[in-house]
Amino acid sequence: MNNLIISDCREQNLERIYELEINNSYNPWTKKMFMDEFANKSSFFKIANFQNNIIGFIIYRINIDEAEIMNLVIDAHCRNNGFGEKLLLYAVEDIKLLCANKIFLEVRDSNKAAIKLYTKNGFKKYNIRKNYYTVEDALLMKKIL
């Protein structure tokens, strides 16, 4: 599917973003976390529109020459259409333009869909944080650009 439109998140989109987060994330961010991230000048917040609906988002931060993917969600009924990958690749290209040369992220050890998506797109596991999600480990992954 080609008609996914990716654009900057606006303040009026935050309610919808929060709804997507609550419905799709294992360990959802609070509203305050989204507001803080939105206000953070080092943070980049993109939304994915499909057929006039916001169906996903990605958030990444830049710290000098390093980037971190902070959050990525595609609504459950829109998954497996390549949308998550499109958002991720959009972020990777933007991160290159912003002059970072590596990207980090953390993912739950049992989140096979996300791990496969990241691995397919050149992210490699470099460490494990034991019990990071209380009962579960976090995989630390990175991609060198």
Ligand X SMILES: CC(C)(COP(=O)(O)OP(=O)(O)OC[C@H]1O[C@@H](n2cnc3c(N)ncnc32)[C@H](O)[C@@H]1OP(=O)(O)O)[C@@H](O)C(=O)NCCC(=O)NCCS
| Chain contacts with ligand X (rule: CB under 6 A) | 24-25, 72-74, 79-85, 107, 111-114, 116-117, 120
The C-alpha atoms of residue 53 and residue 19 are separated, in whole angstroms, by: 13
CB of 1 to ligand X, least distance (A): 10
Which residues are CB-contacts of 94 (< 8 A; sequence separation ≥ 6)?
Answer: 44, 46, 60
Closest residue to ligand X in the complex (CB): 84
118 carries an active-site annotation: yes
CB of 66 to ligand X, least distance (A): 17
Nearer to ligand X, 26 or 41 (CB): 26
Nearer to ligand X, 6 or 73 (CB): 73
- List of E strands, 1-145: 4-8, 43-50, 53-63, 66-74, 102-108, 124-129, 138-144
The C-alpha atoms of residue 30 and residue 52 are separated, in whole angstroms, by: 25
CB of 40 to ligand X, least distance (A): 19
Phi, psi of 102 (to 5 degrees): -150, 155
The C-alpha atoms of residue 57 and residue 99 are separated, in whole angstroms, by: 22
Nearer to ligand X, 99 or 119 (CB): 119
Q: Which of 21, 37, 68, 118 is catalytic?
A: 118
The three-state secondary structure class of 136 is coil
Q: Which of 66, 85, 106, 136 is catalytic?
A: 106
CB of 96 to ligand X, least distance (A): 20
11 carries an active-site annotation: no
Nearer to ligand X, 35 or 89 (CB): 89
For the annotated catalytic residues, the residue numbers are: 106, 118
